[in-house]
Homo-oligomer: A and B are copies of this chain.
Amino acid sequence: MDVKASLLMVGDELLIGQVTDTNASWIAAELWRLGIPVLKKITVSDTLDDIKYGLEASLESADLVIMTGGLGPTKDDITKQALADFFDDELIFHEKTFERIQGYFQDLGRPWNELHRLQCFLPTRAQLLTNELGTAPGMLFREKGRVVVSLPGVPYEMTGIFKRELLPIIRQMVPEKHRHSLTIRTIGIGESDLAEKLETLPSGWDQDVSVAYLPAIGQVRLRLSAKADREAEAIKRVDRAAEMVEKVLAPWIFGRDDESLEMLVGKLLRERRLTVGTAESCTAGLLAHTIATVPGASDYFTGSVVAYSNDIKHRILAVPAEVLERYGAVSEQTVKAMVAGAIDALQVDMAVAISGIAGPGGGTPDKPVGTIWLACGNKDRVTTKLLKLNKDRQRNIEYTVTVGLNMIRKFLMGL
């Protein structure tokens, strides 16, 4: 069976912009891996009419509809009622779910309340999907060969139920995968320049492999995908295309799929048995945190000094007072001194230093907001870089962290 899916997200908060929907992309990625295309995604408000509209529109072309949201204990959540109406069903107290919720709160050492008891009134026709991380179970309805699933909107509850309860059911719907995609991650080159470079690909390029460009802060991801009768065939085609792309774009590529820049940096440091530290002013620890998001980072990351004030730059990182006075905190001389100071203070093999004006205040005619100096190196060799950014505070900080990671990569790879 060639299953096609549609997503239905329920919640006023999504339509007034109070919450960014991360569930849809997570579910879509899971379904993509199973070879199930998501034809569309519809977001509706918490009203019976809109949920009914959403169900009808979703079922028009899809065999599998996955809904999230509107299952909470409070009275603005009415997805359960809407589903019971839609499937001509009724809500009945479900003793086992109530026992599970009582046990859940016992484990937490907190009492349940009346609202939790009301969550146990559930549609009789629904197959319940146990929620180990919260109170509202998921529900699955089957009708005329089509499947409608309702999951809680809280992301970790949703993903928990999806992985443990729903995935095995969906797998049975699609015995074979026919689709494969692979993402190549680049840094330091724009979307149009990438596209132009790819026009020079050798003649052996497989026209059935499609390429999409996904830009992010300082990075562009290239998604290659192919469909084939057999999974192995799709994988082979995509892999061959990926190798061709990787040859043309080598200097800008740092990873595939979920391999982040910080993972590559970690791998390079571990291979070379080196340790790294950071000395951060305007990024205030975000580079350190990003390096440490990789599990096992303690093998190569020992710590950092966040030197927001000049006093700390001088006292802990030993930046000479005359350097700070003569060149200013945001200068090539200062970040170079910060690298040396961090290597000493943190007892590491190499360090990255950052000092800049993230904004919105603090700019001068000489050094406007967005002026950011970085340095990266060891005791023998230090590279520096000056950024002139024009984005908002948070984006300036995030972009700078990406550049800092890329400097470590290039330093270690001798690029």
Contact = CB atoms under 8 A, between A and B. Distances in A.
Contact of A347 (B284, B289, B302, B311): B311
Identify the interface centre among A17, A110, A183, A213: most chain B CB within 10 Å of its CB: A17
A14 interface: yes
Nearest to A16: B32
Contact of A213 (B74, B195, B289, B295): B74
Given A113-B192, A214-B18, A295 B393 contact: yes
A22 B20 contact: yes
Contacts of A394: 293
Identify the interface centre among A14, A195, A292: most chain B CB within 10 Å of its CB: A292
A236 interface: no
Contacts of A24: 14, 17, 20-21, 43
Given A40-B50, A284-B285, A74 B13 contact: no
Interface in A282-319: 282-289, 291-293, 295-298, 301-309, 311-312, 315-316
A29 B21 CA distance: 13
A381 B359 CA distance: 35
A13 to B, nearest CB: 5
B18 A20 contact: no
Interface string A386-415: 000001011101000000000000000000
A36 to B, nearest CB: 10
Given A13-B212, A215-B154, A293-B394, A308 B303 contact: yes
A122 B410 CA distance: 40
Nearest to A53: B40
Given A115-B196, A285-B284, A18 B359 contact: no
A16 B29 contact: yes
A395 B73 CA distance: 23
A397 B294 CA distance: 12
Nearest to A391: B156
Given A15-B41, A113-B192, A298 B308 contact: yes
Nearest to A30: B17
A212 to B, nearest CB: 5
A85 interface: no
Nearest to A223: B18
A250 B76 CA distance: 23
B285 A292 contact: yes
Interface string A180-198: 0101000000111101100
A221 interface: yes
Interface in A259-282: 278, 280, 282
A343 to B, nearest CB: 13
B306 A113 contact: no
11 contacts: A17-B26, A17-B30, A18-B221, A113-B192, A113-B193, A156-B391, A282-B292, A285-B286, A292-B306, A298-B308, A302-B312
Shortest 4 CB-CB contacts between residues of A and residues of B: A285-B285, A17-B29, A17-B28, A284-B292
Interface of A: 7, 12-22, 24-32, 37-46, 50, 53-54, 57, 72-74, 76, 110, 113-116, 135, 154, 156, 181, 183, 190-193, 195-196, 210-215, 221, 223, 278, 280, 282-289, 291-293, 295-298, 301-309, 311-312, 315-316, 345-347, 359-362, 391, 393-395, 397
Given A17-B27, A40-B53, A295-B393, 11 more contacts: A15-B37, A15-B41, A16-B38, A17-B24, A17-B31, A39-B45, A113-B192, A284-B288, A295-B361, A303-B307, A305-B306
